[in-house]
Chains A and B, each alone.
Chain A
Amino acid sequence: MLQIQHLTKSFGKKKAVDDLSLTIAAGEIYGFIGHNGAGKTTTIKACCGLLPFEEGEITVDGISVKKDPLECKKRLSYLPDNPDLYNFMKGIQYLNFVADMYGVGKNEREEQIDRYGALFGITDDLGSMISAYSHGMRQKLALIAAFLHRPKLILMDEPFVGLDPLASHTLKELMREHCDNGGAIFFSTHVLEVAEKLCDKVAIIKEGKLIVSGETEEVTGNTSLEDVFLELEEDHV
């Protein structure tokens, strides 16, 4: 579903991502782990066409992000680490706007908004201005928008930040359901316990370079993901 081949992205002289290659297949939840500034957000942004990159290739469902970004964007959803939404819109207006952007039909959008609104317990608040939303509510709204058009691939940057335990649980179930239905999810997180339990595969990145990747069980072996992460971090100091 998502193929990253030899991705290199620099900011000035600094290489934020250095020759990174990953493959995320349909049905997989892929966790992306690394310390602050390791290159996770840069990689995710490059995957959804938000950041141009110098070297390498990224394809979504076989389509090149560089050559045909619009076709790729139709197939994916992106959730940033701190979703800034339109404060001048009501929650429902924002979701309707996103549905318009992706050409979601009237009945389908109504069903989807009803469903996800109820799951995240935000339906009653959809009539309020986004400016009145708490951080968690904005995160929930952005999550509903991400699932709204039934994307094949969802790219998420720290999706659990700001969510209450119930919403976190709901999100985990939705992620699993999405992948069971043939979709794929690539997300970054600092919550290693969640990654360990939820992800089919994980990748650890440090200073723009991929240190390790593979099936979660293979990567962790007999220890925890936290131990592996800390060990790898020390090895590379």
Chain B
Amino acid sequence: MFKALLISRFQAILYSMFLAKKENKPSTAGKKILIGLLAVYVVGAVAALMGLMFYGLSPLIALEDGWLYFALAATVAFVLCFVGSVFITQSQLFEATDNELLLSMPIPPSMILMSRMLVLLLINLVYELMVLIPALVVYGMYRPLTGSQIALFVLSALVFPLLIMAVTCLFSYLFAFLLARVKRRNMIQIALYFLFFFAYLYVYFNLQNYLTQLVENGDVIADAYRKALPPFYYFGKTLSGSWLDGLFLVLWSALPMGLILFLLAKGFANVTLKKTAGKRSVYRRGALKVSSPRLALMKRELGRYFAIPMYFFNCGLGVVMKGILGVVLLLKGKEWLPFLESVPFLKDALAPLFALTLCFCCTMECLTAPSISLEGKNLWIIKSAPVSEETFLRSKLEAALALGLPSLVFAWGCGFVLPMNLYDRIIALLLSAGVLLCLNIFGLLMNLYFPRLDWVSEVIVIKQSGSVIATVFGGMGLVVALAGIHFLLPGVSYSAYMTGALVITLLLAAGLWLLTVKEGKKRYAAL
């Protein structure tokens, strides 16, 4: 039974990754290679970053037999795994669409949970190894590794994810439990996503400070680990070569996991079914607002942005980033001025740099990229309505701009603290708005080429679809290309360069839109 459950989990993952939908044909070798290369790139980039970080922590290897170094490595792994898997854990455990079906079968809830957890455990193991392997390599550069240490590394790496999973599952359970009981659950979920993301960014940008403090206060931190964080302490001691501490680590990892599994199995049905029961409220008749089809479609699109928390978090990040940029400019802009004006290059290039910063924020917005896929099984509603393909596509573009432009104008308006002439200021706004327009048309076009309508979870089309990946990388490529134009035209004034970039962007947007309308009709009809 457990084996069957586990196979179905893996089948679901492979199906979502390697099957070109509609015709259910296996995906091409090209797509598999692309996914493989992307995975290698992501894993390689993270591992390289971790390697650099542990290189900075290398003075700790000499302290306390090196256990403190490994305890810190375990802490980093714990944080990365927790942040990386807490929301997946919640959606996989408590929001899976087949929970009701499985609970109706004679399968103990603990077995359903275990089958899901094992998959999550593997995800955590990958995250963990991206941290621990670079840590071990850096350690090996300073001290020779013994056979016993390598064996203990394997043991620790295998059991430590159990502890991470225990904490992640507990948090996910509490999260699901609370969300099932609150109003405006989607908004709370979006806020929490951003909270986690910005906490992560904050730690990342202050990492160097933390590393310095860690190296300088090694003794104090070692004492704190010993007293307050026993699992991390035992992890460090184990990797410094102690088999007895390895036993303690196994106990500290396996026992909490067993306890959590027992507790979650008890409340699993309760939380899962509570979610699907839904709240009902009695309708009170009021005047209905009449809109044109185009406006109604746009309002519908805007409603969807906030109805799926992962959608706005993943594809609308630029909206928040522009807001933050504006606030930072207001609060810190004047403080930065003396520095900016003291560097001749920066002083002169302030307008294009400001414009490119706004453009870069816009590249984090690809709300149109999964928007056609997100129609899913609801597509019949629009396809059977008297709405032209162009109106349908335009409404998606307009909704994305309705959300993206106000935040852009806000960030741009906050840029008044930066000295630049009125012409450059206006071109900066138009150029970034042009990039936003370009990207959203491109996203729409990509989704018409790579639609995916038969998803079981929206997260798949939001996070894994080719259209989203192409749009994000395409946007970044566009901004890099626009910046690169300047270097091809030495001697051209910044104002002229920005005007040229604006013309190119608008021409590109117009070309993309014509292609979208022309190709869109054919592709839309085939959906």
A-to-B contact residues, CB < 8 Å: 48-50, 52, 70-71, 73-74, 76-78, 80, 83-89, 91-93, 96-103, 105-106, 109-110, 113-114, 123-129, 131-133
Q: Are B385 and A101 in contact (CB under 8 A)?
A: yes
CB neighbors of A among B374-423 (8 A): 376-378, 380-381, 383-388
A48 to B377 Cα, complex, angstroms: 17
**Of A76, A78, A91, A93, which contacts B380 at CB under 8 A?**
A78
| Chain B: interface residue total (CB-CB under 8 A) | 38
Q: Is B101 an interface residue (CB 8 A)?
A: no
Q: Would you give the shortest CB distance from B190 to chain A, in whole angstroms?
A: 13
Q: Are B283 and A123 in contact (CB under 8 A)?
A: yes
A34 to B381 Cα, complex, angstroms: 25
Kindly specify which of B211-219, B230-238, B274-282, B484-492 makes contact with the partner chain. Answer: B274-282
A70 to B385 Cα, complex, angstroms: 8
Q: Are A110 and B278 in contact (CB under 8 A)?
A: no
Q: Are A101 and B387 in contact (CB under 8 A)?
A: yes
Q: Are B308 and A102 in contact (CB under 8 A)?
A: no
Q: Are B281 and A128 in contact (CB under 8 A)?
A: yes
With A97-B296, A132-B278 known as contacts, the answer to whether A50 contacts B384 (CB < 8 A) is: yes
Q: In the complex, which residues of chain A have a beta carbon less than 8 angstroms from the beta carbon of B297?
A: 101
The chain B residue sitting closest to A129, CB to CB, is B278
Between B285, B292, B378, B386, the greatest number of chain A beta carbons within 10 A of the residue's beta carbon is seen for: B386
Q: In the complex, which residues of chain B have a beta carbon less than 8 angstroms from the beta carbon of A133?
A: 278
A74 to B293 Cα, complex, angstroms: 12
Q: Would you give the shortest CB distance from A31 to chain B, in whole angstroms?
A: 21
**Of B304, B377, B385, B388, which contacts A88 at CB under 8 A?**
B304
Prevailing SS type, chain A contact patch: helix
The chain A residue sitting closest to B300, CB to CB, is A97
Q: In the complex, which residues of chain A have a beta carbon less than 8 angstroms from the beta carbon of B377?
A: 84
A132 to B288 Cα, complex, angstroms: 22
The chain A residue sitting closest to B295, CB to CB, is A100
With A85-B378, A100-B296, A106-B288 known as contacts, the answer to whether A73 contacts B384 (CB < 8 A) is: yes
Q: Are B378 and A84 in contact (CB under 8 A)?
A: yes
Q: In the complex, which residues of chain A have a beta carbon less than 8 angstroms from the beta carbon of B293?
A: 100-101, 103
Q: In the complex, which residues of chain B have a beta carbon less than 8 angstroms from the beta carbon of A76?
A: 384
A131 to B299 Cα, complex, angstroms: 19
The chain B residue sitting closest to A50, CB to CB, is B383
A180 to B293 Cα, complex, angstroms: 30
**Of B280, B281, B296, B384, which contacts A78 at CB under 8 A?**
B384
Between B285, B297, B384, the greatest number of chain A beta carbons within 10 A of the residue's beta carbon is seen for: B384
The chain B residue sitting closest to A91, CB to CB, is B283
Q: In the complex, which residues of chain B have a beta carbon less than 8 angstroms from the beta carbon of A50?
A: 380, 383-384
CB neighbors of A among B183-207 (8 A): none
**Of B289, B378, B383, which contacts A96 at CB under 8 A?**
B289
A103 to B280 Cα, complex, angstroms: 29
Q: Is B291 an interface residue (CB 8 A)?
A: yes
Q: Are B288 and A110 in contact (CB under 8 A)?
A: yes
A119 to B385 Cα, complex, angstroms: 24
Q: Are A106 and B384 in contact (CB under 8 A)?
A: no
For the complex of A and B, the 6 pairs showing the least CB-CB separation, nearest first, are A132-B278, A88-B307, A127-B283, A100-B296, A84-B377, A126-B283
24 contacts between A and B (CB under 8 A): A49-B384, A50-B384, A74-B386, A77-B384, A78-B384, A84-B376, A85-B378, A85-B381, A88-B307, A89-B300, A89-B303, A92-B288, A96-B289, A97-B296, A100-B290, A101-B385, A101-B387, A114-B285, A123-B283, A125-B280, A126-B283, A127-B281, A128-B279, A131-B278
With A50-B383, A88-B308 known as contacts, the answer to whether A101 contacts B296 (CB < 8 A) is: yes
Q: Are B296 and A132 in contact (CB under 8 A)?
A: no
Between A49, A88, A109, the greatest number of chain B beta carbons within 10 A of the residue's beta carbon is seen for: A88
Q: Would you give the shortest CB distance from B168 to chain A, in whole angstroms?
A: 26
Q: In the complex, which residues of chain A have a beta carbon less than 8 angstroms from the beta carbon of B295?
A: 100
A98 to B290 Cα, complex, angstroms: 11
A123 to B387 Cα, complex, angstroms: 28
Give me 13 other A-B pairs in contact (C-beta within 8 A), A50-B383, A127-B284 excluded.
A49-B384, A73-B384, A73-B385, A86-B304, A92-B288, A103-B293, A105-B290, A106-B290, A110-B287, A126-B283, A127-B281, A128-B278, A129-B279
Q: In the complex, which residues of chain B have a beta carbon less than 8 angstroms from the beta carbon of A91?
A: 283
Q: Would you give the shortest CB distance from B321 to chain A, in whole angstroms?
A: 25
Q: Is B525 an interface residue (CB 8 A)?
A: yes
Q: Are A96 and B288 in contact (CB under 8 A)?
A: yes
**Of A88, A101, A103, which contacts B303 at CB under 8 A?**
A88
The chain B residue sitting closest to A130, CB to CB, is B278
The chain A residue sitting closest to B522, CB to CB, is A52
Q: Are B383 and A49 in contact (CB under 8 A)?
A: yes
CB neighbors of A among B157-177 (8 A): none
A52 to B293 Cα, complex, angstroms: 24
**Of B279, B300, B304, B388, which contacts A132 at CB under 8 A?**
B279
A48 to B384 Cα, complex, angstroms: 6
Q: Are A128 and B280 in contact (CB under 8 A)?
A: yes
Q: In the complex, which residues of chain B have a beta carbon less than 8 angstroms from the beta carbon of A49?
A: 383-384
A109 to B283 Cα, complex, angstroms: 16
Q: Are A86 and B378 in contact (CB under 8 A)?
A: yes
A133 to B308 Cα, complex, angstroms: 18
Q: Would you give the shortest CB distance from A204 to chain B, in whole angstroms?
A: 25
Q: In the complex, which residues of chain B have a beta carbon less than 8 angstroms from the beta carbon of A105?
A: 290
Q: Are B307 and A70 in contact (CB under 8 A)?
A: no
Q: Would you give the shortest CB distance from B526 to chain A, in whole angstroms?
A: 8
Q: Would you give the shortest CB distance from B98 to chain A, in whole angstroms?
A: 17
Contact flags B313-354 to A (C-beta < 8 A → 1, else 0): 000000000000000000000000000000000000000000
Q: Would you give the shortest CB distance from A156 to chain B, in whole angstroms?
A: 12
Q: Are A132 and B280 in contact (CB under 8 A)?
A: yes
Q: Would you give the shortest CB distance from B490 to chain A, in whole angstroms?
A: 52
Q: In the complex, which residues of chain B have a beta carbon less than 8 angstroms from the beta carbon of A109?
A: 288, 290
CB neighbors of A among B256-292 (8 A): 277-285, 287-292
Q: Are B378 and A70 in contact (CB under 8 A)?
A: no
Q: Are A86 and B300 in contact (CB under 8 A)?
A: yes
A49 to B524 Cα, complex, angstroms: 12
A98 to B381 Cα, complex, angstroms: 9
With A80-B380, A100-B293, A106-B287 known as contacts, the answer to whether A70 contacts B388 (CB < 8 A) is: yes
Between A101, A124, A132, the greatest number of chain B beta carbons within 10 A of the residue's beta carbon is seen for: A101
A49 to B385 Cα, complex, angstroms: 10
A92 to B283 Cα, complex, angstroms: 8
Q: Would you give the shortest CB distance from A202 to chain B, in whole angstroms?
A: 24
Q: In the complex, which residues of chain A have a beta carbon less than 8 angstroms from the beta carbon of B299?
A: 97
A54 to B465 Cα, complex, angstroms: 31
Q: In the complex, which residues of chain B have a beta carbon less than 8 angstroms from the beta carbon of A78?
A: 380, 384
Q: In the complex, which residues of chain A have a beta carbon less than 8 angstroms from the beta carbon of B287?
A: 106, 110
A87 to B278 Cα, complex, angstroms: 11
**Of A101, A113, A114, A125, which contacts B386 at CB under 8 A?**
A101
The chain B residue sitting closest to A12, CB to CB, is B23
